[in-house]
Amino acid sequence: DLIESAKRAACRQAVADHFNPSFTYVGIGSGSTVAYVVEAIAEHGASVTGKMKFIPTGSGSTALIRNAGLSVLQVPDLLLEVGFQPESESHQPIDIYFDGADEVDAELNCIKGGGACHFQEKLVSRLAKRFICVADSRKRVDRLLTSWSYVPVEVSPMGAEYVRRELLRLGSQDPKVRTSGPTFISTITDNHNHIIDAPFPTLLLNSEADKLDPAKGLWTPDALLARIKRIFGVLEVGIFSGLNGPQVAQLDTDVEGVKP
Ligand code: DER
In ligand 1, the atom with minimum distance to the C-alpha of 29 is 5
Which pLDDT tens digit goes with each residue over 122-177? 999 999 999 999 999 899 999 999 999 999 999 999 999 999 999 999 987 777 76
Q: Is residue 255's pLDDT more than 90?
A: no
Give the pLDDT score at 106: 93
Confirm if 200 and 217 have CB atoms less than 8 A apart.
yes
Ligand 1 pocket: which residues have CB below 6 Å?
29-33, 99-102, 112-115, 117-118, 121
User: Where residue 252 falls among pLDDT bands split at 50, 70, 90?
Assistant: very low
Nearest CA to ligand 1 atom 7: 114
Which pLDDT tens digit goes with each residue over 42-90? 999 999 999 999 999 999 999 999 999 999 999 999 999 999 988 877 6
Task: Give the distance (Å) from ligand 1 centre to CA of residue 28.
Answer: 12
In ligand 1, the atom with minimum distance to the C-alpha of 111 is 3
Task: Give the distance (Å) from ligand 1 centre to CA of residue 119.
Answer: 13
Which pLDDT tens digit goes with each residue over 170-217? 987 777 766 778 888 778 999 999 999 999 999 999 999 999 999 999
- Ligand 1: which of 3, 99, 102 to mutate, most ligand atoms within 8 Å of CB? 102
ipTM associated with this complex: 0.97
Task: Give the distance (Å) from ligand 1 centre to CA of residue 113.
Answer: 7
Give the pLDDT score at 183: 84
Give the pLDDT score at 226: 95
Task: Give the distance (Å) from ligand 1 centre to CA of residue 31.
Answer: 4
Provide the whole-model pTM: 0.91
Q: Is residue 245's pLDDT more than 70?
A: no
Give the pLDDT score at 260: 31
Nearest CA to ligand 1 atom 3: 112
Q: Is residue 243's pLDDT more than 60?
A: no
User: Where residue 249 falls among pLDDT bands split at 50, 70, 90?
Assistant: very low
Question: Considering only 33-47, 213-227, 246-260, which range has the smallest mean pLDDT?
Answer: 246-260
Which pLDDT tens digit goes with each residue over 96-127? 999 999 999 999 999 999 899 999 999 999 99
Give the pLDDT score at 175: 73
Q: What is the DSSP string of 3-36?
A: HHHHHHHHHHHHHHHH--TT-SEEEE--SSSHHH
